[in-house]
Amino acid sequence: MSSWRESIRNVEPYVPGEQPRGASVIKLNTNENPYPPAPGVTRALREMDPDLFRKYPDPSAGMLVDALAERYGLGRDQIFVGVGSDDVLGMAFLTFFNSGRPVLFPDVTYSFYPVWAKLFGIPYETPALDENFCVNPEDYKRDNGGIVLANPNAPTGIRLPLDQVEGIIKANRDSVVIVDEAYIDFGGESAVALIPRYDNLLVVQTFSKSRSMAGMRIGYAMGQRDLVRALHNVKYSYNSYTMNLPSIILGTEAVRDEAYFQETTRRIIRTREEARRRLGDLGFTCTDSCTNFLFISHRRADAARLFEALRADGIYVRYFPALRTKDYLRVTIGTEEEMEIFYKFLASYLDRI
Ligand code: PMP
């Protein structure tokens, strides 16, 4: 065997959800927003001059950072931006989890966390969620090298109340606690309000869900200056120009349109609550999700089989075959019309089995 093969970093990668093409596909599998980005984004895209692409973008993405700082009432030195929250989270793992002590995150959560931990050689432990898929805060009050909590959690959609999140941050003043708030705009209380009080708290959010811009790849972290400075030091040791010019310009437009953001998130929340009722009528149980997806199971319908049947009909949802999630499907909230087609398929499927 050639010797270079022995020097390869062997990793088992994260597997993202499918991205099927085609107008007739109903895509409820990767928690994207079914509504377009804010009108200002479309306008700015039309007006964008490609001549600007000759030059490198602002490595600090200043315009975008300023818009976020204003939106969240933070200083510009309290915000770090990256290529989707995956980039931001990966960078945060690399920056903050170097003690050699195990990092803690739940057994059922965003499945990228163990992938980064392995890639960077970070030891980790995964306290089990309880039988209702809830975090027990006491599991996070012991010696550790850092904590990562998706809140609301994925793929369950369940939130941890802010006072319990705060209890975890307070009990861990010597480690960095990352709160991944990819879905916070659809429910739950953000930990951003806690930033002035805790120098060990990093809150991570994304433009991929509530701001309808998954394809643009924009994520951000918020925390006290020293944390953000440490993230920047690692970023500038790896790639100065993470944010491309369209992301900076279009992301800024998205943040500026608060009214549109409020309107679309409210609409998705309304559709989610309707979905919970309609799926309940069909005999599904749904976790108490406050995100833009539902985590559902049915006593009579095998989840893996239902997943395949939906897929064969052009309706894509997400299935996680791991032991604790194998009886569930994760279903992104689509438009009202898409959801009607989904319910109709389910009603006829349940009649057939
Ligand atoms: N965190 C959680 C909990 C997620 O579900 C996702 C979406 N896959 C992400 C982070 C990453 O999203 P993005 O990189 O698009 O910001």
Pocket test for ligand 1, best of 30, 85, 291 (most atoms within 8 A of CB): 85
Distance 24 CA to ligand 1 centre (A): 25
According to DSSP, residue 291 is labeled S
Mean pLDDT score, 311-321: 97
217-249: pLDDT as tens digits: 999 999 999 999 999 999 999 999 999 999 999
pLDDT by residue (tens digit) across 46-72? Answer: 999 999 999 999 999 999 999 999 999
What is the rounded average pLDDT of the residues 207-217?
A: 98
What are the pLDDT digits (tens) for 101-131?
Answer: 999 999 999 999 999 999 999 999 999 999 9
The band of 23, judged by pLDDT with boundaries at 50, 70 and 90, is confident
Ligand 1 centroid to 188 CA: how many Å?
A: 17
Task: Indicate which atom in ligand 1 lies nearest the CA of residue 83.
Answer: 14
Distance from the alpha carbon of residue 217 to the mean position of ligand 1, in angstroms: 10
The pLDDT value recorded for residue 283 is: 98
pLDDT(214) > 90 = yes
Residue nearest to atom 12 of ligand 1 (CA): 85
Which one of 15, 206, 210, 242 would you pick to mutate in the ligand 1 pocket, going by the greatest count of ligand atoms within 8 A of its CB? 206
* pLDDT tens digits for range 135-166: 999 999 999 999 999 999 999 999 999 999 99
Q: Is the pLDDT of residue 258 over 90?
A: yes
16 cis-preceded (ω within 30 degrees of 0): no
Q: Look up the pTM and report it.
A: 0.98
1 has pLDDT over 70: no
For ligand 1, the distance from its centroid to the CA atom of residue 337, given in whole angstroms, is: 25
Helices 258-281 and 336-352: crossing angle in degrees, nearest 10, is 20
Model confidence at 76, in pLDDT bands (50, 70, 90)?
very high
- Could you read off the pLDDT of 262-290 as tens digits, one per residue? 999 999 999 999 999 999 999 999 999 99
- Contact status, residue 253 vs residue 43, Cβ threshold 8 Å: yes
Nearest CA residue ID for atom 2, ligand 1: 182
- Is 2 a residue whose pLDDT tops 90? no
Q: How far is CA 262 from the centre of its chain?
A: 18
The per-residue pLDDT of the chain, averaged, comes to: 97
Average pLDDT over residues 14-28: 91
* Candidate from 109, 110, 209 with most ligand 1 atoms within 8 A of CB, to mutate: 110
198, 169 in Cβ contact below 8 A?
Answer: yes
Q: Going by CA atoms, what residue is nearest to atom 8 of ligand 1?
A: 30
Using a 6 Å CB cutoff, which residues line ligand 1?
Answer: 84-86, 110, 150, 154, 180, 182, 206, 208, 214, 219
126 contacts 120 by C-beta, under 8 angstroms? no
d(CA 242, CA 168): 32
**DSSP H helical ranges for 48-146:** 62-72, 84-96, 113-119
CATH class of 19-36+259-352: alpha beta
- pLDDT at site 22: 83
Fold of 39-256: Aspartate Aminotransferase; domain 2 (3.40.640)
How confident is the model over 25-49, as a mean pLDDT?
98
pLDDT above 90 for 316: yes
Where do the domains of the chain lie?
19-36+259-352, 39-256
Tell me what the mean pLDDT of segment 325-329 comes to: 98
Average pLDDT over residues 292-321: 97
